[in-house]
Structure 1
Amino acid sequence: MLFDDPVLMARYLPGAEVDSVEPDGSVNGAITVRFGPKRLKFRGIAIPTIDRLARTGSVEGRGASDVRGARFKVRMDYALTDTGTEANPQVRVSLVSVAELQGPLAEIARTGGPIVAGAILDEFARRLRDDLENPDAAPPATGDNALSAWKIARSAIARAVTRRDGGDRERT
């Protein structure tokens, strides 16, 4: 199952870097978000828990940023559900994420955090969908793939329009 491989999944997560995968399955790495010329980098550990039979799992992470005293905790749960037919197989990926930021960035995170998290999940979904729809295409970029302020703004606008239209965030 695609979601079993943390190194592969990190390719879809904007700004993610995998430094190492430990024998217990925990992943050491970082995630970077760009705001113009400024970069905010969080280093930490992610611990995946996978239920292959149920096609569900979670990733719990914790760590600190390069801004003095800023710490984070995050949990993301996912579930894969078949929604297509045998002739046209499709899978719905449900993601639920909860994050907590402590320290000097906590106040900013209360207002801007949901917007940034939504943009990260939107970009993750777009990259994953593009790769699944075009399996022979080049893999998502590695290296400097940090989420930019422009993509965050674009995602926030799209989410606002979707809510105003009464639509949900479901993507096919």
Structure 2
Amino acid sequence: MNATQGPTMPLSLNVNGLAVAAEIEPRRHLADFLRENLNLTGTHLGCEHGVCGACTLLVDGEPVRSCITFAGACSGADVTTIEGLDNDEIAIELRAAFNREHALQCGFCTPGMLVSARDLVLRLREPDERRIRLGLSGNLCRCTGYVGIVQAVRSVIAARRERGITAIVADPGRGLGPIGARIGSGLAAGALPPNTVKARVPAPAAKVAAAFTPTDSFEQTFTIGRPPAEVFAAFGRIREIADCIPGALVDGEPTPDRVEGGIRVRFGPISPVFRGVALVERDEENFTGRILGTGADAGERSTMQGEIRYRVVPGEEPGTARVELAVGYALKGALAQFGRPSLVRNLAGRIIAEFSRNLEDRLMGRSTGGAPKQINLPRLVFNSLSEGVRSWIKRLLAFSD
């Protein structure tokens, strides 16, 4: 060991399908290892702070910022650089589309941009421009203005969906730990078949919510003009329920006990999406259920955790059902400013009232436009505050009399 080198550690991983073994310093980043030790210079270094996205590559099929990823954390992983995508079907289509749509100029950002674009082609069900722009927001380009890049990605997604190639479904079996780490997972290097892609999956809801303690809770009921059995059965159809909830969306294909999705909320001109995962439990005999979930906005500036217990019982009128809800929640980050218990109850009451109307319309076969695509939070807050003021004035007038 020379005087300038610190302690080393063994590293063993697969790079572009080839087994690689080396001794490295624990502090060595993956991008530096690939460029300097393996001469894979297609991985570009820009900001070296994980901001510009030029160094993006695939670790176990997932896009990763290699400039801030320690090489030692990827022991046993499959690493794919832009050089390893030479013969990849999607990368070939993207390169052609980038040329066709004039989606590159100096080309410095292009390797990382192609890696991120490939992930979007795999995961997005439709060529949604808003979601493509959101997905590429971590890849900065100083030249093109992004219009050609977005159009290139849209065209590839549209063409593949027209050919019957569907988006991949998130793999619920992904282990915990840093992206790309398989230490202790029981998977040997190279165990995955070529071009295997594992979608980014949040931690399983059961584990996330196991230690969940709500900061506040409330109960609410509503009545639907359909029999209890029919209403309870509808609660098991996740997509149908999501269509009735303002701002709700479902990602991929839900299973009976697990669903991934989110809520789109509007704050003036900003419309963040809080995405997460939930564990679903249902008791078919007693018409009861439980939903345990967690979510965060894209920048993880706000997080939400919650538990909903519901019970469907006969309503007061024959042929009707009463849904009893017990809701517990915890809010952290910027969203917590809306977390005062009285305000949350008012907001939840309005959302639940709209949900119940939409669900009843659907069960009755009435044609509606469905739930709004996003929750207009300022409007709900204003309406809730207005109701509070009206209630306060009524109490004041009653006191005066």
TM bucket, shorter chain: 0.7 to 0.9
Relative to structure 1, is the Cα distance of residues 23 and 11 closer, same or farther in structure 2, using a 3 angstrom cutoff? closer
Q: Which one of 98, 105, 111 corresponds to residue 335 of structure 2?
A: 105
Give the distance between the partners of 2:328 and 2:389, measured in 1 at CA: 20
Percent of pairs with identical residues: 28
Tell which deviates more after alignment, 88-97 or 63-72. 63-72
Give the distance between the partners of 1:162 and 1:53, measured in 2 at CA: 41
Contact 1:71 1:102 in 2 (8 A): yes
Is the counterpart of residue 145 in structure 1 residue 366 in structure 2?
no
Unaligned residue ranges in structure 2 (runs of 5+) = 1-232, 395-401
Match of 1:168 in 2: none
Runs of 4+ in 1 over 4 A off after TM superposition: 155-165
TM-score between both structures, scaled by the size of structure 2: 0.36
Greater helix share, structure number: 2
Asked which structure has the greater RCO (Cα within 8 Å, sep 6+), the reply is: 1
Match of 2:177 in 1: none
Deviation at 1:73, TM superposition (A): 0.4
Is the counterpart of residue 129 in structure 1 residue 357 in structure 2?
no
Relative to structure 1, is the Cα distance of residues 157 and 94 closer, same or farther in structure 2, using a 3 angstrom cutoff? farther
Give the distance between the partners of 1:115 and 1:58, measured in 2 at CA: 22
Is the counterpart of residue 119 in structure 1 residue 350 in structure 2?
yes
Deviation at 1:126, TM superposition (A): 2.3
Match of 1:56 in 2: 288
Contact 1:131 1:140 in 2 (8 A): no
Contact 1:118 1:155 in 2 (8 A): no
Match of 1:19 in 2: 251
Greater strand share, structure number: 1
TM-score between both structures, scaled by the size of structure 1: 0.76
Contact 1:122 1:155 in 2 (8 A): no
Tell which deviates more after alignment, 47-56 or 28-37. 28-37
Deviation at 1:160, TM superposition (A): 7.6
Higher-Rg structure is 2
Give the distance between the partners of 2:320 and 2:393, measured in 1 at CA: 28
Relative to structure 1, is the Cα distance of residues 69 and 35 closer, same or farther in structure 2, using a 3 angstrom cutoff? closer
Is the counterpart of residue 80 in structure 1 residue 312 in structure 2?
yes
Unaligned residue ranges in structure 1 (runs of 5+) = 166-172
Relative to structure 1, is the Cα distance of residues 92 and 160 closer, same or farther in structure 2, using a 3 angstrom cutoff? farther
Match of 2:320 in 1: 90
